Chains A and B, each alone.
Chain A
Amino acid sequence: MATAPDAPVAALGHRRDRLLRAILSSFLFAYMGFILAVLLASAIWLTRTDRATGSPYLFGLARDEQLGGEILFAFKLSLVTSAITAGLAMVIGIPSAYALSRFRFRALAFIDTVIDLPIVMPPLIAGIALLLFFRQTMTGRFIEDHLVPVVYTKTGIVVAQFFVASAFAIRALKATFDQINPRFEGVARSLGCTAWQALWKVALPLARNGIIAGLVMTWARAMGEFAPIMMLAGSSPGRTAVLSVTAFLNMSAGHVEASIAVVVLMVIIAALTLVTFKRMGGQGYLW
């Protein structure tokens, strides 16, 4: 490891360097320990004995058909809606990101800002704005009445997730396309490819891992979405309550253990997503 040409300087083994290394890494490990302790606390709390049933909360939850069923339904609903959202976000995201990365637009700063707005917008406001669009505007009403009902339906979940997650998709994919030297496409063009072929045969295959990483991240982001979904799709258990909404609902009904179980489940999903993202070579800022 230490012989690799790009080995970190501190790995070379001088005593003073080791001291520096120890001091600096202690900060790193302290923070990491803090994160792990917080997450573990939730998991450990679930194994505590519930005074009502005399067995650990987790067993009680597994036996409670209604609560367990509610969480399972929310889990499946989250999986399905976020998968659809991630697919749709890719349909919009790949062309948009490529366009943003390769073409010069006159109002690039403006376009860039608008695309970033759903990311920085407070999620609750995004939800209210979506509800307002679908119920109070002519376009929205037309969609609701003639095409597909959105408000308080499962479609609404996908729409709310899509509104925010697509912005992330475009961000992540643009970072990928930015890293691919446009000269590759230029060379392909000079060798007889059309512009379409250069995109299809050179840029997209080169971006493959980045696209998959972006897809996974978008999917995870859609899975974690909360406030916009609650406003637009409502929070009806067994109908429109996704995982995050279920955690909230149970917290507000005093079922702390169910909320915490959902939290632990979501942390596990997030961890798996991150591992996939890193393995696929995903880069750039995530949120």
Chain B
Amino acid sequence: MRQYQRHTADLAALLAGLCLLGLAGCTTTKPPPANTAPPAKTAQAAGPVPVLVTADLQPLFDEARAEFARQHPDVQLQVTVKPGAELRAAAAAAKLDGLLVTLGPPELVPIDQASRLAVGSRVLLARVPLTVVVAPGNPLGICTVADVAGPKVKALALGDEASGSVGKEAEQALRTAKLWDKAKAKVRRVPLEALIGEVAEGRAQAAIVGVHQVADQVAVACPVGEDLHAEVQLLAVRTTGLQVTPQVTALTEYLGSAAARRPLLAKGLLEPQTEQAKGQSLFLYCAAGLREAAETLIAAFKAETGIEVQPTYTGSGCLLAQITISQTGDLYFPGEDWYMAQAKERGYVADSATVAYFVPVIMVQRGNPKGIKGLADLMRPDVRVGIGEPKSCAIGQFTQKVIEANGMSFEALDRKAVSHFVTAPELGNAVKLGAVDACVQWDAVASWYLDDADVVAFPTNAQTISPIPLGVLNFSKHPQEARRFMEFVRGPKGQAILAEHGHTLDPAHPRFPPAGAPSA
């Protein structure tokens, strides 16, 4: 009887286990979400739109409106320009109505308290970073915010109460940096419009201004860290007296768009951090060999947009397996086009672009003790050669290509190689640790080891250069932000970072030009 009971208990446990397995066995497949279409443009109409612009923002606004005039030639703007404090007071007192372009948000508080702000009309154009300006040539050698509180600066100009967020956040930054007690005795409070003049005319040795105010009479000493203060925003908002016409809508929509932002970003302003973008995080599958560059790119992208990117690093093929199984993530940054092609074939890629190139070079021991001058020297019996395994890594495939393109036998090299490696960094490590004398290596990877190894370049062509792709995945829950990352990497800042990490951006100008060729 007891034996019977024991078996029943076991049977029940087994059944429970099987149920769990059964549930697990029902595999699910979820179609990748379709990408959201960009918002449609509004209809055009005629009639002047009143716009109120604070004096300090007028040059910026003029740049931003130029493109608007091209897109909407039939919409007239009637622009009123006054010093900020005066303009906002007039708006709060219902003396002026229109689309108010101002810094904020503290500047909007009095207008809001007078119930003169149209609910939900606020458009964020950009963030305004603060910066320390000094006399041209920086005679006092000020290079950090801490120097501003130091003894060399006798007077420091900050915006006064009426100047709004620029003055307020400058003080906040000094307080956060624990410099306020040292600095407060020499602070001169002046109106926003007078800040530059204070420094240019020598009444103050330094001033903290919004980056849009920087003019030729002064020099930029250093930026004020964004982590020290709340953000200063460039905003547009409707006063309650302004009728909402299609023209007004067209202008507000334009001001929130990338076209309006472009000239602002060129002036040093930063992309606004939308509520949506804040705290959002993109997941990036990144080839381990691209890690150094990727980390800098991620940090710079976060500084500009506030969007976090969480990377995972391993071999490109392993990443592809992870993408295939997990069906999540936003971006794929493999070391080679072949993997991107595989991902595209499986329908995982919404969009992709080439962001840089890998160019093969010969990596040799420091000081080139074996006197290697070109690919032919790799065949010498006294040279210990390591090669990438062609089936496992791109550098292996390209080693084969360059050897054969130069009329040599890859099989012969393969036979004489002392060892085979499955990733490009392993080849580099082998040279660094002295295990091999030479190998064919990617230029960017070789440039990591320049303290321990030397590079011998040889001529290459389109067939022997490998493009590095970056793609947006179909499963992405934030396709727009993911695309923004891709555009960032392709843009001037991203490209500069890639170049800094030894990547070739233009195949015609490789990182290590072969002897006799023009340098990059």
Interface residues of A (CB under 8 A from B): 50-52, 103, 105-106, 128, 131-141, 151-152, 230-231, 234-237, 239-240, 248-249, 251-254, 256
Contacts and interface: CB of A to CB of B under 8 A. Distances in A.
A133 B7 contact: no
Contact of A152 (B295, B310, B428): B310
Interface stretch (B122-130, B204-212, B226-234, B322-330): B322-330
Contacts of B329: 152
Contact of A140 (B24, B311, B429, B432): B24
B288 A249 contact: yes
Contact of A251 (B24, B328, B429): B429
Given A236-B310, A239-B310, 18 more contacts: A51-B451, A52-B451, A106-B7, A136-B327, A137-B26, A138-B23, A152-B283, A152-B312, A152-B326, A230-B314, A235-B288, A236-B311, A237-B295, A248-B314, A249-B291, A251-B425, A253-B425, A256-B432
A235 B310 contact: no
Contacts of A231: 318, 322
Contacts of A51: 366, 451-452
A232 to B, nearest CB: 9
Interface string B295-337: 1000000000000001111110010011001111100000000
A57 to B, nearest CB: 11
A128 B321 contact: yes
B28 interface: yes
Contacts of B292: 253
Contacts of A248: 288, 314
Contact of A135 (B283, B318, B327, B426): B327
A243 B472 CA distance: 30
Contact of B24 (A103, A133, A152, A256): A133
Closest 5 CB pairs of A and B: A234-B312, A252-B288, A52-B451, A254-B448, A137-B24
B353 to A, nearest CB: 24
Contacts, number: 103
Contacts of A252: 288-289, 291, 313-315, 423, 425-426
B25 interface: yes
Nearest to A134: B326
A141 B426 CA distance: 37
A254 B429 contact: yes
A139 B291 contact: no
B328 A151 contact: yes
B20 interface: yes
A236 B425 CA distance: 18
22 contacts: A50-B451, A51-B366, A52-B451, A106-B10, A131-B322, A131-B325, A135-B326, A136-B29, A138-B23, A139-B23, A140-B24, A152-B310, A234-B312, A236-B313, A237-B295, A248-B288, A249-B288, A249-B291, A252-B289, A252-B425, A253-B288, A254-B449
Nearest to A133: B24
Contact of B326 (A137, A151, A236, A256): A151
Nearest to B284: A236
A22 B288 CA distance: 50
A40 B28 CA distance: 51
B433 interface: yes
B75 interface: no
A103 B288 CA distance: 49
A141 B311 CA distance: 22
A218 B207 CA distance: 61
A251 B314 CA distance: 11
B445 interface: yes
B5 interface: no
Contacts of B423: 252
B18 to A, nearest CB: 13
A228 to B, nearest CB: 12
A133 B325 CA distance: 9
A135 B318 CA distance: 16
Contacts of A251: 425-426, 429
Nearest to A252: B288
A253 B289 contact: yes
Name which of B10, B291, B366, B432 has the most chain A CB atoms within 10 A of its CB: B291
Interface in B212-245: none
Contacts of A131: 322, 325-326
A118 to B, nearest CB: 16
